[in-house]
Amino acid sequence: MDGRRRSQYQLTDETPVYVISVAAQLSGLHPQTLRQYDRLGLVSPGRTAGRGRRYSARDIELLRTVQALSQEEGINLAGIKRIIELENQVAALQQRVAELSTAVDGAAAVLQQREAQVHASYRRDLVPYQPPQPGSALVVWRPAPKRPLD
């Protein structure tokens, strides 16, 4: 999303709009095959109030992927279901990694800002103590004691 509010009537790839006959034509599959894929949980289309299936553009793409895996790669439906589950899991994990990366970057920026504030608060008239190196002389200055005024 680009920051603007979307109208409830604005279509996205996830908007379920295609009836089963149109989805079958778009995916190149038979409507009965779509019903079977729905029963197996391979593709889960949206439902109308009357329980009719409505497919989104993303569902159509998933149907094409299932068909390609089945017909071209020879993968059985159980294998395809597992592939889809793993791809969904990977996508969710990638989203989580992106969220955590953003949080870490934000925390690092706050930490740098606080560190800069601490450094800015240092007294400039103090000099850090460095212990003498071996073999060097250490000179300590001691002021003479003050005499009381007469």
Q: Give the separation between CA 53 and CA 71, rounded to whole angstroms.
A: 24
Rounded CA separation 95/90 (Å): 9
Per cent of the chain over pLDDT 70 is 93
pLDDT band at 123 (very low <50, low <70, confident <90, very high): confident
Residue 56, Cβ density class (10 Å: 0-12 exposed, 13-18 middle, ≥19 buried): buried
Q: Is pLDDT at 4 greater than 70 in this prediction?
A: no
Sign of the four-CA dihedral 108, 109, 114, 118: positive
Task: Please tell me the distance from the alpha carbon of residue 92 to that of residue 98, in angstroms, as a whole number.
Answer: 10
Per the model's pLDDT, the better-predicted residue between 82 and 140 turns out to be 82
The amino acid at 123 = R
Greater pLDDT, 61 or 122: 61
Average pLDDT over residues 80-84: 95
Q: Is 37 helix (H, G, I), strand (E, B) or coil?
A: helix
- Report the run of H or E that residue 79 belongs to, with start and end: helix 77-120
Q: Whole-model pTM?
A: 0.62
Average pLDDT over residues 23-42: 93
Q: How far is CA 137 from the centre of its chain?
A: 59
Beta strands at 53-54 and 46-47: parallel, antiparallel or unpaired:
antiparallel
pLDDT of residue 7: 62
- Residue 140's identity, in one-letter code, is V
pLDDT at 2 > cutoff 70: no
Number of C-beta neighbours around residue 53 at 10 A: 20
Residue 1 pLDDT greater than 50, yes or no? no
How far lies 84's CA from each of 30, 89, 92, 99, 115, in Å?
Answer: 21, 9, 12, 23, 46
125 pLDDT above the threshold of 80: no
Read off the pLDDT of each residue in 51-80 and give the average, rounded to a whole number. 93
The pLDDT tens digits of the residues spanning 139-149 come to 778 888 887 77
